[in-house]
Amino acid sequence: MMNGLRMFIRSDKKDWGEHNVFYSQRSHGPIYRWHYESHLAKWQVARVDASNWSSHELSTASWQSVPQMLKAQLNEHYIE
């Protein structure tokens, strides 16, 4: 796992079924929402507007639960 990177899922509801939406945050930086677009066969990312909701809605996701393809995109997104 990358240094300081945390992965989350929504704790209050399911987002489009199991393991299709994850959130990431590195250190105290912005939170990003990752969702899988099956017709594109790729993970899409968008920065979360933190003023619309609370990070308390998120639960920590284990690194093992993150799909391998998403891990690869996270490596590209969070360049050391």
Summarised one tens digit per residue, pLDDT across range 43-76 is: 999 999 877 777 678 889 999 989 999 999 999 9
Predicted pLDDT of residue 11: 72
Mean pLDDT across the chain? 84
Predicted pLDDT of residue 16: 47
Between CA 3 and CA 50 the distance in angstroms is 23
Quick one: tokens of 67? Answer: 């799909």
Q: Strand order in 5-10's β-sheet?
A: 42-47, 31-37, 21-26, 5-10, 58-60
Which of 10, 22, 8 is closest to 70 using CA atoms? 22
Model confidence at 7, in pLDDT bands (50, 70, 90)?
very high
- Single pTM value for the model: 0.83
Domain regions of the chain by residue span: 5-77
